[in-house]
A and B are shown apart, each in its own frame.
Chain A
Amino acid sequence: MADEELVDPKLYLEETCKPKCVRPLRAYQACIERIKGDESGHKHCTGQYFDYWKCVDQCAALKLFDKLK
């Protein structure tokens, strides 16, 4: 097998799951905009980040093992 380039199916699946999770992604991006000028270091977007990745994870988890041996 000429598999010099190993493509991790998880990354590929996470890319394909992005359109399904647009709403939390937009919320995360809006949060980034909101805290852009913050100097105090207390503001962070962990909540929106978790919401987005939870959505992507659930979408990708269903299909990932089908792609692995």
Chain B
Amino acid sequence: MHRNMRNSFRWQEKPRMCYQPSDDLFYWKIHTKTPSFFSTLKQDAAAGSSSMMSLRALALIGASISGILSFGTITSADEAEHGLPAPNYPWPHKGILSSYDHASIRRGHQVYQQVCASCHSMSLVSYRDLVGVAYTEEETKAMAAEIEVVDGPNDEGEMFTRPGKLSDRFPQPYPNEQAARFVNGGAYPPDLSLITKARHNGQNYVFALLTGYRDPPAGVAIRDGLHYNPYFPGGAIAMPQMLIDGAVEYEDGTPATESQMGKDVVTFLSWAAEPEMEERKLMGFKWIFVLSLALLQAAYYRRLKWSVFKSRKLVVDAVN
């Protein structure tokens, strides 16, 4: 009787506790044969319809060749379009716990003021931001007082001009974008407040651009009014070379070579775009350390609580 019952139950699956691959329809779909492109080729060949096979094969080969060829034409047009990639310079503030070179920020601000401010605005930076970073409060107040700011209206309803204060933003060279374009041959000198964050690989790019004015390659002609710069996308930039040896006389006596001015002004621009960098690095280092300790604690606590289930033993009591 027992044997008969066993034979009659043969078609049933044995009781099981866990997932079997055959449960999954997706599993079946992968493991059953579905006709593919290549198998249709073989089938056609087997069936003797050689014309169909050669047409398919030709289509496949033709598509792949034209795809590869089009890549070739794209790369040759792209080089000047993207500009020469800037090399990676070893900026002193690059390390995980490195701060800015504040003397360099001070020199860079001097370069900005004397060379760049005639065309480029930095309308997001105020004079008070410089206090404690590049200048003392008295120096900054004196610097701000040199500019005239439109304020008002006064009690009589009129706008008036007054000397600048710490709370004023850096002065703008042009009243609006249209005026800037008109004076510069249609090109707009961008605002530099965030320029090192607004360009890919910003710090290296700006330094390479400022110090990278060279003769164009053979066969490349730049029209009047533009200048060749390999790092600028397209190669033709409206700005002429501005950093020339000796253009600025540094207060601290540093020799003002083109690359020295470039390094200082890019350090200044990096500070302007990321004034919080030093505090951010300190905070980041501290909190990554704290969170790693917390991770170790959490991992231990999880494993402690789960040890109950991980060491559980199940007994299967089935009659077969």
Contacts and interface: CB of A to CB of B under 8 A. Distances in A.
Contact of B259 (A31, A47, A62, A68): A68
B220 A44 contact: yes
B72 interface: no
A47 B79 contact: yes
Nearest to B245: A6
B87 A49 contact: no
Interface of A: 1, 3, 6-10, 28, 31-32, 35, 38, 41, 43-50, 53-54, 57-58, 60-62, 64-65, 68-69
Contacts of A28: 217-218
Interface stretch (B32-40, B88-96, B149-157): B88-96
Nearest to A61: B87
Interface string B86-115: 111111100000000001100000000000
Given A8-B245, A53-B230, A65-B92, A46 B259 contact: no
Interface in B161-214: 208, 211, 214
Given A6-B246, A43-B219, A64-B259, A50 B253 contact: no
A65 B255 contact: no
A41 to B, nearest CB: 7
Residue of B90, B91, B92 with most partner-chain A CB within 10 A: B90
Given A44-B217, A49-B217, A49-B230, A7 B84 contact: no
A68 B218 contact: no
B84 A50 contact: yes
A9 B219 contact: no
Interface in B237-271: 245-246, 253-260, 263
B257 A57 contact: no
Given A6-B245, A46-B79, A47-B76, 10 more contacts: A6-B255, A8-B258, A8-B259, A35-B219, A57-B87, A60-B87, A65-B91, A68-B257, A69-B103, A69-B104
26 contacts: A6-B255, A8-B245, A9-B259, A31-B218, A38-B219, A41-B221, A44-B217, A44-B219, A45-B218, A46-B80, A46-B219, A46-B235, A48-B217, A50-B230, A53-B84, A54-B87, A57-B86, A57-B87, A58-B87, A61-B88, A61-B90, A64-B259, A65-B89, A68-B263, A69-B104, A69-B254
A9 B257 contact: yes
A64 B89 contact: yes
Contacts of B245: 6, 8
Contacts of B87: 54, 57-58, 60-61
**Lowest 4 A-B CB distances belong to which pairs?**
A44-B219, A49-B217, A61-B87, A57-B87
Nearest to B217: A49
A15 to B, nearest CB: 14
A10 B219 contact: no
A33 to B, nearest CB: 9
B85 interface: yes
Contacts of B246: 6
B257 A6 contact: yes
Contact of B90 (A1, A9, A49, A65): A65
B81 to A, nearest CB: 10
B230 A65 contact: no
A31 B220 CA distance: 13
